[in-house]
Copies of this chain bind each other. A is one copy, B any other.
Amino acid sequence: MSTTASAFTPSVSAQRADGQAIGYLMQQGIENADCLSLAAGFVDPETLPTALVDKTASRLLSDSETGKLALQYGTTGGSDRVRAVFRDYLARLEGDEDRVHNVPLDQIMLTTGSQQLLALLTEAIFNEGDICLVAAPTYFVYLGVLDGVGAQVIPVKTDDNGMCPDALDAELRRIDELGQLHKVKLVYVVSYHDNPAGISVSNDRRPKLLEVTKRWSQDHPIYLLEDAAYRELHYDGEELPSIWSFDTGYDSGDQQHVVLSQTFSKSFSPGLRVGLSVLPPELVKPISDLKGNQDFGSGHLSQNIVAEVLRTGEYWDHLAGLRTSYRAKRDAMVAAAEEFFSGIDGVTWRTPAGGLYVWMSLPEHIPTGFDSPLFARATEVDKVMYVPGELCYPSGWEDRPRHQMRLSYGVLAAAGIREGMRRLASAVRAVIDSK
């Protein structure tokens, strides 16, 4: 029987998920497989904890009782036994055992990486046309999630100390004056060593961003999604308290505004897909309902493995080694930037205190996008790839900067980082010289 294929039309939801930056980027990665990649946000394979996971999985699985628990279904948000271990971990991280132990276990949710939490939260609170305020630049994959629910995304002025509280306040006032405050559901901030710019929200701004968010929560709660994915990849200087720690709601019974999202994908292993979040009480049920429909719960063996290395403390030893390794690679990239770019007028970059990214700005007349001369030259001639900075601003923002690049030192070793930077500088010089 032969039939002609009839036309398939994806749902509105699937159409919105089409054309996201991450898709283009992965496609570019495939098409430019011969390039050195300063683009991939992957972690360094050399520091993946294979031996530790091996030992831990063996300990769990060789005991019949713990083995069966790990291989059976958990509950949607993770078993209470495992969540209690994650709460202990969070208490240590926050340095405030008593307050953190007041968080009921059901407000702690384990997801498939933190990405699933970002997606679930967004689906749980946004209807089409609702508003999210984001730092500019911000994590481009989350911009795709917001596009996926048909949200309006409004950039908020962001500098080297993170999102500016005064600018957030001004945007909210402007939105209120337009009669649209009821549509504002979320403020999104990557609070530590952010993706893409390596910026942390400064200590003094942390409570201020929360205060502004709370003050404009008038007829309905506006939430602040604190994406702390890079919190533990900290190399220099002071370790900052989370924005969540300033949320008096979380242990006082008041309205809680901060959703804290963390992940073990950067600090331990992305292949395990373990994300950890703390939810305000009223979000537990809607997010659990959605997750129940989507998967009944994330991988239980993986959650048990991470919980076990947290319980034994071996996690912290691993983390210390990881920091040393990434610090050296961060230094290698900054040194290479100095070596190869300091002679090029109008090129600037930031030295991040943590995370995986160096954010570089070119002269404003040098665009970096996928269809730019620079991207073509870099990938076709010099054989190096980066993430165009314009992906990290709301796609509907006409005036978004187009002359920046996100450069990652996550995957490559020091020599590869230096060579990648050398190639990139060659491409930048060539494009500037051709103008």
Contacts and interface: CB of A to CB of B under 8 A. Distances in A.
Contacts of A113: 295-296
Nearest to A301: B271
B269 A71 contact: yes
A58 to B, nearest CB: 6
A405 B116 CA distance: 35
A124 B289 contact: no
A135 interface: no
Contacts of A218: 6
Interface string A217-253: 1111100000000000000000000000000110010
Interface of A: prevailing SS = helix
B293 A119 contact: yes
Contacts of A58: 54, 57-58
Contacts of A14: 123-125, 286-287, 289-290
A43 interface: yes
Contacts of A302: 299, 301-302
A321 to B, nearest CB: 15
* Copies of this chain per assembly: 2
Contact of A115 (B57, B75, B294, B304): B294
A271 B290 contact: no
A420 B266 CA distance: 47
Interface stretch (A62-70, A353-361, A424-432): A62-70
A36 to B, nearest CB: 18
Interface string A1-43: 1111111111111110110101100100000000000000011
Nearest to A305: B301
A214 interface: yes
A72 interface: yes
B299 A299 contact: yes
A6 B148 CA distance: 27
Contacts of A214: 1, 3
Contacts of A22: 292
A144 B293 contact: yes
A85 to B, nearest CB: 16
A20 B289 contact: yes
A270 B61 contact: no
Nearest to A222: B6
A270 B71 contact: yes
B42 A67 contact: no
A95 interface: no
Given A48-B68, A221-B6, A298 B299 contact: yes
Interface string A41-85: 011010011110110011001101001111111110000000000
A123 B18 CA distance: 13
- Of the candidates A11, A23, A116, A287, the one having the most CB atoms from chain B within 10 angstroms of its own CB is A11
A300 interface: yes
A22 B292 CA distance: 8
A395 to B, nearest CB: 14
Give 6 nearest A-B pairs by CB, closest first: A50-B67, A271-B300, A54-B61, A14-B286, A299-B299, A17-B289
Interface of A: 1-15, 17-18, 20, 22-23, 26, 42-43, 45, 48-51, 53-54, 57-58, 61-62, 64, 67-75, 111-113, 115-116, 119, 123-127, 141, 144-145, 148-149, 214, 217-221, 248-249, 252, 254-255, 265, 269-273, 282-283, 285-287, 289-290, 292-302, 304
